[in-house]
Chain A
Amino acid sequence: MGPISSLISMPEWLDLLIALLIGIGFGFALEQAGFSSSRKLAGMFYGYDTTVIKVFFTAAIVALVGSQFLSFFGLLNLNLVFVNEFYVTSAIVGGVIMGAGFIMGGFCPGTGLSALSIGKIDAMVFFAGGMTGAFLFAETYPAIQNLANGAYKGPLKINEVLGISPGLFTFLLIAAAAGMFWIAEMAEKRFSRPDITNEI
C-alpha cells in the first residue's frame, strides 16, 4: 500500500531523481495551462481570462478524487500522506501578503518559474524578488516568530471540522467548482478584453 516511499527505503539519489521527474511534469503542466503569461494569470482578477480558477480547481479535484479512489481500493494509505499543519494567524496573514504579491507581480512562485523557463524577463525579476523575500523572512524571523508559530491547530482536515465524510465533502466541492466554472465562463464574456486576450 502506497505511498511507495513508505514501502521501500529509497536511496537518496532515487528520491531526488523522483523529485526532478515530478518537477518536470509539474512545470510542463503549468506551462501548457498558459501559466507562463502574467497577463493571463492577472486576467483572473479582472475577469477577462479565468483560466486560473479552471485549472486550479480541476487539478485539486482530480488529485482529491484520485487519492480517495486509491485509498478505497487499498492502494494508498492517506494517513501517510503529508497534511499541511494549520497555524491560523500565519495562514491568513501569509495568504493576504501573497495575494498582494500576486496582483503586483502577476505570478505565484510556481507559475513564475514556468514563465522564467521560456524566457520571460519579468519572471526572472520576479524570481530575484522572491529570493529577496525569502531572505527578508529569514532575517526578520526572530521578530515574527510568535506570529508565525501562534494559534497552532495541527494537521486539521476540513471534513472533520464540518463533521462529514471525506466523500461527501468532495462531492460538495465538485458541485461548488461546477458553479464557479459557470460563473467564470460568464465573467469572461462580461469582462471580455479582446485587445489583451489576442496578445497573450
Chain B
Amino acid sequence: MNPYIAGTMLGLVLLLAMFISGRGLGASGGLKYCMVSIVGAVDRPHADKSVFYSKYFEDGKKPLKNWLVLEIAGVIAGGFISGAVSGRLKLKIEKSPRISNTRRLVFAFLGGVFFVYGAQLARGCTSGAALSGMAVLSVAGFVTMIAIFGSAYLFAWFFRKNWI
C-alpha cells in the first residue's frame, strides 16, 4: 500500500484510541505483561518478593487481563487478516542472501533483547513512546524518537553486512 495512505490509516487508528480510551497505541508494554504473567506462573514467591513484579499481582490482579495485552493480541490478528487479504501469509526467514539463516536468527534474537530492554527503560517503544508521544506533543515522545532513529543510524554502519 502507498506509505502515505497506510500512514493515514495508522494515524486514524491512533486517533481512535485517543478518542475512545484516552490513550495511545503500544506494543512493548503488552510483551512486558505477558512476561510478568509467565514469571508469576513459574515462580510466584519470587514475583511477590520483587519490587518490579509484585505491583502486577497486588490485590489479586491478573497481568494478562490488561488493555495492552488484548491490544497486542489484536495486532497479531490484524496483521494476519492483512497478510491473508494481500496474499502474504508464508512461513519463512527473511534475510539478505549474503548471510546465513543462523546469523539472521541470532541477530533477530539480540535485536529483540535490546529493543524491549530499552523500551522498558524509556517507558515505551516506537509505538507507545515515539509515535503516540509525538501525537500528544509530549517532549518524551520527541526525545525518544530522535534517540531511537539517531542511534540506529549511528550503529547502521557496524551491521551493514546483515542488510546490504
A-to-B contact residues, CB < 8 Å: 2-6, 12, 15-34, 36-39, 42-46, 48, 51, 54-64, 66-67, 70, 75-76, 78, 80-88, 90-123, 125-139, 141-142, 144-145, 147-148, 153, 155-159, 161, 166, 169, 193, 196, 200
- Compute how far the CA of A84 lies from the CA of B126 in the bound complex, rounded to whole angstroms: 13
- Compute how far the CA of A156 lies from the CA of B134 in the bound complex, rounded to whole angstroms: 12
- Do A82 and B152 have beta carbons less than 8 Å apart? no
A and B contact pairs by CB, cutoff 8 A, 8 listed: A18-B21, A20-B70, A45-B153, A59-B8, A86-B143, A105-B112, A113-B79, A129-B110
B93 adjacent to chain A (CB < 8 Å): yes
Nearest A-chain residue to B117, judged by Cβ? A133
B20 adjacent to chain A (CB < 8 Å): yes
Min C-beta distance of B48 to chain A, whole Å: 13
* Total interface residues in chain B, CB < 8 Å: 122
Give the 6 A-B residue pairs with the shortest CB-CB distance, closest first: A105-B111, A23-B74, A95-B147, A129-B112, A99-B151, A62-B11
- Do B7 and A33 have beta carbons less than 8 Å apart? yes
Q: Is the interface of A mostly helix, strand, loop or mixed?
A: helix
Min C-beta distance of B26 to chain A, whole Å: 8
**Partner among B15, B39, B71, B123 whose Cβ is within 8 Å of the Cβ of A62:** B15
- Do A23 and B70 have beta carbons less than 8 Å apart? yes
- Do A99 and B6 have beta carbons less than 8 Å apart? no
Note all chain B residues with C-beta closer than 8 A to A59.
7-8, 10-11, 14, 131, 135
B44 adjacent to chain A (CB < 8 Å): no
- Compute how far the CA of A144 lies from the CA of B51 in the bound complex, rounded to whole angstroms: 12
- Do B94 and A122 have beta carbons less than 8 Å apart? yes
Count of chain A to chain B residue pairs whose CB atoms are closer than 8 Å in the complex: 527
Note all chain B residues with C-beta closer than 8 A to A169.
137
Note all chain B residues with C-beta closer than 8 A to A193.
164
* Contact A128 to B109, CB < 8 A, known contacts A86-B140, A98-B119, A121-B91: yes
Other contacts beyond A19-B69, A84-B129, A84-B136: 18, CB < 8 A: A3-B19, A18-B20, A19-B21, A26-B10, A39-B95, A58-B3, A62-B15, A66-B11, A91-B144, A94-B119, A95-B150, A103-B155, A103-B159, A115-B79, A127-B31, A129-B116, A132-B109, A138-B52
Note all chain B residues with C-beta closer than 8 A to A82.
22-24, 136
- Do B93 and A121 have beta carbons less than 8 Å apart? yes
* Contact A118 to B139, CB < 8 A, known contacts A23-B72, A84-B133: no
* Contact A63 to B118, CB < 8 A, known contacts A25-B16, A101-B113, A132-B112: no
**Partner among A23, A131, A145 whose Cβ is within 8 Å of the Cβ of B34:** A131
Nearest A-chain residue to B69, judged by Cβ? A19
- Compute how far the CA of A21 lies from the CA of B39 in the bound complex, rounded to whole angstroms: 27
Min C-beta distance of B155 to chain A, whole Å: 5
* Contact A86 to B11, CB < 8 A, known contacts A34-B1, A122-B95: no
* Contact A91 to B129, CB < 8 A, known contacts A33-B3, A81-B136: yes
Chain B positions 63 through 81: 1 when the CB is less than 8 Å from some CB of chain A, otherwise 0:
0010111111111111111
Note all chain A residues with C-beta closer than 8 A to B144.
91, 94-95, 98
- Compute how far the CA of A137 lies from the CA of B151 in the bound complex, rounded to whole angstroms: 20
Note all chain B residues with C-beta closer than 8 A to A111.
126
